[in-house]
Amino acid sequence: MNLKKFFEFNEEDLEPIKSFKLQDELCDKVWESDDKMFPEIRKDLIKIANDFYETADIDTEIEDIILTGSLSNYNWSPKYSDFDVHIVVELKKAGDDVDMVKKVADQAKNIWNRDHDIEIEGYDVEVYIQDINEPHIANGVYSILNDKWNKKPSKVDFEIDEKEIEKKGKSLMSLVDVVEENVDDMEYEKFKAKIAKVWDKIKDLRKVSLKEEGEFGVGNLVFKLLRRNGYIEKIIDLKRDSYDNQFS
């Protein structure tokens, strides 16, 4: 397949662990006060959300537009945070086959995020369509549409286990690197199964962590580490490139 571009992880890939800390205040580039987002930012995010949703071709009304993730919480990072904007809808109103509607929504998200590079106040804007019935665990959720907190964040006691995050992060990065190192020696179907197994392991670690420990659980922070150091993007690139190159 001629995809080999192997680079083993190094200490720089563990640097984002240092960003997992609580700030004293919410991000002052986003929040006018503890209760209100800056009006200009709110206006821009609503327009982006609506423009994106028009491209999704999903025939059901928007229930809410929310900001979640670190910029709606005290664990924001000047370097790594982004605007995590969710358009909340009831997917079953868009069609009987909810799984298919969900796939259409995810595809629309992938295309939009691929084709647009939007920054507000130095933070990337990422959009996502969320089913109203989908479990969503977050310490802070702000309704951009209604301009109020759905769930106001609280300053929780938070002391991360850096050693455990480093250990689990290194283990998962090694799995990705091994698959990447051997990609030229595998048939596409075998490679597809290998990378899917690693991806499922990462997603399951995060899912269990969110359920049992919440937003600041080790598994969720390991996922954030892999997203911030580029390993999630590496997996996505490998999956895409391997599919394309099987025909070359």
Task: Check residue 2 and give its pLDDT.
Answer: 47
171 and 241 part of one domain: yes
Task: Check residue 4 and give its pLDDT.
Answer: 45
Q: Are 153 and 73 in contact (CB under 8 A)?
A: yes
SS (H, E, C) 163-178: HHHHHHHHHHHHHHHH
- How far apart are alpha carbons 64 and 132 in whole angstroms? 9
165 and 143 part of one domain: no
Biggest CA–CA distance in the chain, Å, is 56
192 is a domain residue: yes
Q: pLDDT tens digits for 159-217?
A: 778 888 898 999 999 999 888 887 777 787 888 888 889 999 999 999 998 888 888 88
- How far apart are alpha carbons 20 and 75 in whole angstroms? 7
For residue 30, which of 71, 2, 70, 65 has the smallest C-alpha distance? 71
Q: How many domains does the chain have?
A: 2
Question: Which tops the pLDDT comparison, 49 or 236?
Answer: 49
Residue 16 is which amino acid? P
For residue 35, which of 126, 146, 147, 123 has the smallest C-alpha distance? 147
Q: In sequence order, which residues have a C-beta less than 8 Å from that of residue 61 and are 6 or more positions away? A: 89, 93
Residue where a domain terminates, one of 90, 116, 151: 151
112 and 174 part of one domain: no
Range(s) of the domain holding residue 104: 39-151
